[in-house]
Structure 1
Amino acid sequence: MIDQDTAPHATAATRALDRNVLGRTAAHLYERYADVVDRETVDRIVQESYEELDRTAAVKTYLTASAGNFADHRLRSIAIARGAIESTSPRVLFVDDANAGRSQMAASLVLKHFAGLVTARSAGVEPGGRIYDTALEAMDEVGVSLEHAYPKPLSADVHEAAQFVITLACADQVQRMEGKDYRDWDIPSLEGKPLEEVRRVRDELDARVQELIREIGPDAEA
């Protein structure tokens, strides 16, 4: 049973409005992942996802949709980690401080160039409230929209499902798991940076992403 009464920043009206939406979301996700997890686990992950995004999001217009999307990513990650979903493509997770710029850009650049060949996710150690406006503008310039992207925390299930974890100047803040390839790219935060500098970071990320996928992608030499 989804219970918004524990959501720290939700008003009574929001709880009443969101309860049915999240309940339907949980029911739909349980149908999808019933072979992997029980309904109680689905309800918990949907609830946790909602509460976490409600705590950090600056814009809450699409909070229930974002929570459902985040919960879906987490449940799919659990299914992959347990072998219930076969994933033959390399799985890359980009992590930075706020998931409001660099990591979102890097994951989106992977999908721009290698969609269907590589799975890319992003997360933040301490998620920010929204994507930086300069990051949105810089990515729009290269035909990648981050309009519906939102900062997400580094959840254990998404971390566990990743094969390659790329930290962006935050390696000391990410606990390591066995069996994963960790790499740190020394790229500083975009917070407060002018658009010209964000463009340079975007281009550096683009070059590094393409080099990474040439190394680990499905066409890479064994």
Structure 2
Amino acid sequence: MTASSPPVLPDERLAAGIARLAVRHRGHFSPETIQRLVTDSYARLAEPARVHTHLVVLAERLTAERLDALAHIGGAPGSGLPRVLFVCSHNAGRSQMAAALLAHRAGGRMVVSSAGTLPAAEVEPVVAQVLTEAGVDLTDAFPKPLTDEVVQAADIVVTMGCGDACPIVPGRRYLDWPVTDPEGAPIAVVRGIRDEIDAHITELLASLPST
């Protein structure tokens, strides 16, 4: 195998997702580039995973997000919708809540994503529960690793307890929300964390220009 050859697929079922993404991004990204990203996404997700049943599907979804970020980076400066990225350690609690609440309230006016510096195997069930109570669906959410493309594509990066592991990219607007980690907390506490995050989001939305 030469240095330029795409990596061997860790699961042959990934080929179907690569083909779908190649059609969607024809003329922008080569199938070889997509295969490298899919293979890398699969490896990143497999590391913390306890159950590998859905890894093929999740690798395609993560790759789609990374390709969207790369396309945004390659576009004209300031083009497209504002992009907000929430980062915490495990992407299983705070950053998932923040991303879901902002996406719900923004109503399609911005691109919202989240990631973790050390992603967990799954989203905290109590986090999904308190969001459901607020009318926000977290069914399809999964902890995602932080990748360079998503950071570089963001206009605003909100850090939430990841400390020195949080990325710093020149020219981005950075906010730090010192919110309590909901892991292992009783549901009443997690509801309070949800409401605290929602208050931060109200302030963030008020600070943004109308779109």
TM-score (norm 1): 0.87
Contact 1:90–1:217 (CA<8 Å) still a contact in 2?
no
Q: Distance in 2 between matches of 1:60 and 1:143?
A: 29
SS in 2 for 1:56: coil
**How much has 1:51 moved relative to structure 2?**
1.3
Alpha-carbon spacing, 1:86–1:72, altered in 2? closer, same or farther (3 Å): farther
**How much has 1:189 moved relative to structure 2?**
1.5
Alpha-carbon spacing, 1:31–1:85, altered in 2? closer, same or farther (3 Å): farther
**How much has 1:171 moved relative to structure 2?**
4.2
Alpha-carbon spacing, 1:217–1:25, altered in 2? closer, same or farther (3 Å): farther
Bigger shift: residues 192-201 or 77-86: 77-86
Structure 1 runs (4+) deviating above 6 angstroms are none
Is residue 179 of structure 1 aligned with residue 171 of structure 2? Answer: yes
The corresponding residue for 2:197 is 205
Q: Distance in 1 between matches of 2:56 and 2:8?
A: 13
Which of 22, 28, 37 is the aligned partner of 2:20?
A: 28
Q: Distance in 1 between matches of 2:101 and 2:159?
A: 16
5 Å matches for 1:65-214?
Answer: 65-83=57-75, 87-214=79-206
Alpha-carbon spacing, 1:154–1:217, altered in 2? closer, same or farther (3 Å): farther
Q: Distance in 2 between matches of 1:35 and 1:78?
A: 14
Residues 194-221 of structure 1: per-residue CA shift (max 9 Å, x gap): 11111000011111112101212535xx
Q: Gaps (5+ residues) in structure 1?
A: 6-14
Alpha-carbon spacing, 1:178–1:36, altered in 2? closer, same or farther (3 Å): farther
AA matched with 1:173: A
AA matched with 2:8: D
**How much has 1:168 moved relative to structure 2?**
0.3
Contact 2:95–2:115 (CA<8 Å) still a contact in 1?
yes
Q: Distance in 2 between matches of 1:170 and 1:136?
A: 21
SS in 2 for 1:75: helix
Bigger shift: residues 157-166 or 35-44: 35-44
AA matched with 2:15: G
Q: Distance in 2 between matches of 1:57 and 1:181?
A: 32
The corresponding residue for 2:3 is none
Q: Gaps (5+ residues) in structure 2?
A: 1-5
When the two structures are aligned, how many residues end up with a matched partner?
206
The corresponding residue for 1:3 is 8
The corresponding residue for 1:55 is 47
5 Å matches for 1:33-44?
Answer: 33-44=25-36
Q: Identical aligned pairs, as a percentage?
A: 36
SS in 2 for 1:165: strand
Q: Name the one with the larger helix percent.
A: 1
Q: Distance in 2 between matches of 1:50 and 1:108?
A: 23
SS in 1 for 2:47: helix
Contact 1:190–1:198 (CA<8 Å) still a contact in 2?
yes
**How much has 1:84 moved relative to structure 2?**
7.3
TM-score (norm 2): 0.91
